[in-house]
Amino acid sequence: MASFIILMGVSGSGKTVVGKALAPRINAEFIDGDNLHSQRNVDKMAAGIPLTDADRLDWLQLIAKVGREHVAHGTSCIIACSALKKSYRDLLRIDNASIHFVYLKGNFDLIHDRIVKRSHQYMPSSLLKSQFETLEEPQADERDVITVSIDQGIPEIVEEIAKADLIS
């Protein structure tokens, strides 16, 4: 069986680095959701303008479609996608019965320290505050979500996710 895993969390939570490390461990393809944004969205973010829900709609629908297609072809995939709001996660769940979310959870100070030490093509550290303001942490009724603290090393994070056995 194949699974569709969303690595979610605010910018700087480690979605890309964790996804790249996790994919070979669980025999899945890693896809950076940032690469699926439209040029218009990229330009807005690069200018320091937070995306609106309307801006994100086509992007989320594309991510859902990519995940659905992988599972239909019998391959598992991991997609890095902030999925900050429950409504976004609900949209990703449509027609994706094998979806799982891994919430990479960290506090503002830890993530801000990480962001200022890296260079990201279009996610300036100034947008982190808006990401935390938008974030709706997964609640107990979202049974397809596991939460992993990012206050540990990448190997430990990958191990914790791998032990969750999300590949169906």
DSSP codes of every residue in 80-135: E----SHHHHHHHHTT-TTEEEEEEE--HHHHHHHHHTS--SS--GGGHHHHHHH-
pLDDT value of residue 120: 54
Summarize the confidence of residues 26-48 as an average pLDDT.
91
> Is there a contact between 106 and 65 (Cβ–Cβ < 8 Å)?
no
Tokens of 48: 């320091």
Q: How confident is the model at residue 36 (pLDDT cuts 50, 70, 90)?
A: very high
pLDDT value of residue 144: 95
Query: Mean pLDDT lowest for which of 12-26, 43-57, 107-121, 133-147?
Result: 107-121
Q: How confident is the model at residue 1 (pLDDT cuts 50, 70, 90)?
A: confident
pLDDT value of residue 51: 83
Residue 121 in this model has a pLDDT that exceeds 60: no
Q: How many CB atoms lie within 10 A of CB 133?
A: 9
Query: Model-level pTM?
Result: 0.91
The per-residue pLDDT of the chain, averaged, comes to 91
pLDDT value of residue 126: 67
